[in-house]
Amino acid sequence: MKWPSRGGDAAQQWRQRDAAVVSAAYSRYSDLVVESAEGAHLHTADGRDVLDFGSGIAVVNLGHRHPAVTAAVHAQLDRVWHASVTALSPPAITAAEALVRVAPDGLDQAFLCNSGAEAVEAALKLARRATGRSDVLAFRGAFHGRTYGALTLTASKAKYHAGMGPMLPGVHHVAYPYCLRECPPDGQGRCGVAEGDEIERLLATVVAPQDVAAIVVEPVLGEGGYVVPPAVFLPALRRICDAHGMLLIVDEVQSGFARTGRMFAVDHSGVRPDIMCVAKAMGNGLPIGAMVARGEVMRAWQPGEHGSTFGGNAVACAAAVAVVETMERERTWERAATLGAKVMKRVRSWQDRFPSLADVRGLGLMIGLEFLHPDRSPDAEVVEAVRAAALRRDLLLLACGTDENVIRLVPPLTIPDDELETGLRRIEESLAEVAG
């Protein structure tokens, strides 16, 4: 897409330098050249002040350069940056303690790493090791990362796999309960997709349950379209896992850290997973991730059986501790719930005026706006046009969904009310310009 650039020599020069040396694999949601950022604001090389409704893809949940996180990072920089497996590291121990404190009950040991994909790889390896089984179930529409194990689980866009096979053997995909598209109720109001019927059929016909190590699931589909499953879904997965001795792995990389109105999205369900993967907002912008597991499961690994040079980096861990402590102190999830309810109400009120806005859904401040043509086919063009119109108004919006026909609203959870309001007004104006 051609973005509405405001010109400016400095920004233009950065774009040229980027095109020359940075891999084109990194496609961008805009051509903004960001030189500094604070709260929900991006300041660009050509002097723009852009409202950030993407949070660096659900990373800066506390806003860019949150003062408590900044202070913790500065303090750690003056002590020690890196120890890796040469020694024990107090910031890593403290980060693991903080994570275990806020994780769902029973998840009491953490493996610290650097990204979401690494957390998912760790979960896959641990699940195989702990169960002695090879196969894994995942969902169409899911995104779990780009490394081979995580990529094999990923099924949100075929282009992520194109020309890069073969993938990991033993991974089976079933439908995610994406109500708008996948779940026609069977007449009694029962949704077979959400109740796990397809999984049971798969286990009866394709893969024997005793060969399945785990089910891997996003409690809210992220890249796949910000899809919130029916409440019966996660309990159904728990039931299936318990019946067959499989592990339930929740991928909270995008939905975690107060985003959905609880610390983790799985907390809404009361379901206790066996393993949880986190990253993104854990460091509020510093690279850190973790795989958290029940101690009994984690103890399947013996010393040296998994590891990472940078996992548990002291500076990233200091940021993570500050993130958890700030969220506990400020009860950030409550603000996410309050703002989320406000945004949902407001955006739903637009649906009469903009019929292509077919679905507005979300949990907390993780909200998806899905656009369809009158024949109910996905309308990616309107999403691109709205994003461009919003960017002209200095509002950065991200898309998602298998067909790129969903706008995801994922602003910092700390955004002040008036800035949220400004952003919503810019979306409304953009919709009126493009889809009115």
Ligand X SMILES: Cc1ncc(COP(=O)(O)O)c(C=O)c1O
Using CB under 6 A as the criterion, which residues of the chain lie in contact with ligand X when the complex forms?
Answer: 115-117, 120, 143-145, 218, 222-223, 251, 253-254, 279
Q: State the minimum distance, in angstroms, from the CB of residue 45 to ligand X.
A: 25
226: helix, strand or coil: coil
Q: Which residues contact 95 (CB under 8 A, 6 or more apart)?
A: 110, 112, 288, 290, 312, 317, 318, 320, 321, 324
Which among 181, 177, 115, 107 is positioned nearest to 149, based on CA atoms?
Answer: 115
Closest to ligand X by CB, 254 or 356: 254
Closest to ligand X by CB, 11 or 122: 122
Q: Decide: 423 and 162 in contact? Cβ < 8 Å.
A: no
Closest to ligand X by CB, 61 or 254: 254
Q: State the minimum distance, in angstroms, from the CB of residue 165 to ligand X.
A: 19
CB atoms within 10 A of CB 10: 12
Q: Decide: 327 and 334 in contact? Cβ < 8 Å.
A: no
Q: State the minimum distance, in angstroms, from the CB of residue 132 to ligand X.
A: 26
Q: State the minimum distance, in angstroms, from the CB of residue 58 to ligand X.
A: 7
Nearest-angstrom CA–CA distance, 218 and 116: 12
Long-range contact set of residues 241-246: C-beta below 8 Å, sequence gap at least 24:
241/214, 241/215, 241/274, 243/209, 244/203, 244/209, 244/210, 244/212, 245/131, 245/209, 245/210, 246/131, 246/133, 246/137, 246/209, 246/212, 246/213, 246/214, 246/215
Nearest-angstrom CA–CA distance, 194 and 207: 20
304 φ/ψ sector (left φ>0, alpha ψ -120 to 50, else beta): left
Closest to ligand X by CB, 159 or 329: 159
Tokens of 292: 């958290």
Which among 374, 370, 365, 381 is positioned nearest to 413, based on CA atoms?
Answer: 365
Which among 239, 213, 219 is positioned nearest to 149, based on CA atoms?
Answer: 213
Q: State the minimum distance, in angstroms, from the CB of residue 25 to ligand X.
A: 13
Closest to ligand X by CB, 34 or 120: 120
Angle at 92 between CA 40 and CA 129, to 5 degrees: 105
Closest to ligand X by CB, 116 or 368: 116
User: Which residue has tokens 């026909």?
Assistant: 405
Q: State the minimum distance, in angstroms, from the CB of residue 406 to ligand X.
A: 14
Closest to ligand X by CB, 275 or 357: 275
Q: State the minimum distance, in angstroms, from the CB of residue 213 to ligand X.
A: 18
DSSP string, 159-187: GGTTTS----TTEEEE----HHHH----S
Is cis: bond before 416, omega within 30 of 0? no
Q: State the minimum distance, in angstroms, from the CB of residue 107 to ligand X.
A: 17
Q: State the minimum distance, in angstroms, from the CB of residue 117 to ligand X.
A: 3
Q: State the minimum distance, in angstroms, from the CB of residue 303 to ligand X.
A: 25
Question: Which residue's C-beta sits nearest to ligand X?
Answer: 116
Closest to ligand X by CB, 124 or 434: 124
Tokens of 423: 């952003």
* C-alpha 50 chain-centroid distance: 22
Helix residue ranges, H only, 280-394: 295-298, 314-330, 332-348, 380-392
Closest to ligand X by CB, 111 or 143: 143
Closest to ligand X by CB, 115 or 405: 115
Closest to ligand X by CB, 144 or 173: 144
Q: State the minimum distance, in angstroms, from the CB of residue 238 to ligand X.
A: 19
User: Which residue has tokens 């940075």?
Assistant: 22
At position 225, the amino acid (one-letter code) is G
